[in-house]
Amino acid sequence: MKIRNFLTASAVAVALAWSASASAHCDTLDGPVVAAARKALDTGNPNFVLVWVQKNDEAEIRNAFQKARNVRKAGGEAKELADMYFFETLVRIHRAGEGAAYTGLKPAGMVEPPIAAADKAIETGKLQGLAKVIFDRTEKGLHGHFDQVMAKKKYDPTDVEAGRAYTSAYVEFTHYAERLYNAAETMAPEHVQKTSAAPAHTH
């Protein structure tokens, strides 16, 4: 039980540290950034989206917001085009603020399981579902690397190739464990930098 509790806590921290690789969540049409954009456009309140960008990008977002609001008054296709223009502008600037490339908006439904679970945890106020998703994946990875090491540990000292297979598995296992340990103590570098300079968002 102790190892499970430890790994669950560590794995949750790993998910935070791996946020750079999961950052595609913010460029999906059902992600939180576009959801904020829809709310801002519908209510006329840009504050819903300003929290997703850095302070020095605020003027550009306000300008794009006003343009979109003006055009969407025409309704129909004009409204759809105006909304999409604003979505793309907002997501592009948001990702630039995180130091990530913008490759276009992704369709809805492309959210990775840990990110979906993280959103659900925030929505419900319960972390257990997210912890289980991450723990299960982390435990599987640890067991996979560990089993490889143990299967190759008792090699014949006269068999150099078998020894190399063991040392390779050993290195993979220990590095995997090290990455988990280090990730449990740190945040992604881009978030440390951004939050210290301008705590506009934590995504």
The model's pTM: 0.61
Do 10 and 184 touch, CB atoms closer than 8 A? yes
- Per the document, the length of the chain is 203
pLDDT in tens, 7-53: 444 444 444 444 444 445 788 898 899 999 999 999 999 999 999 99
Q: How far apart are CA 122 and CA 25, in angstroms?
A: 15
- Which of left, alpha, beta for 75 (phi over 0: left; psi -120 to 50: alpha)? left
Percent of the chain having pLDDT more than 90? 57
Q: What is the mean pLDDT of residues 99-104?
A: 89
Q: How far apart are CA 37 and CA 106, in angstroms?
A: 15
User: What are the CB-based long-range contacts (under 8 Å, 24+) for 183-190?
Assistant: 183/10, 183/13, 183/14, 183/16, 183/17, 183/18, 184/9, 184/10, 184/13, 184/14, 184/17, 185/13, 186/17, 187/16, 187/17, 188/16, 188/17, 188/18, 188/19, 188/20, 190/20, 190/98, 190/99, 190/100
What residue spans define the domains of the chain?
29-110, 114-197
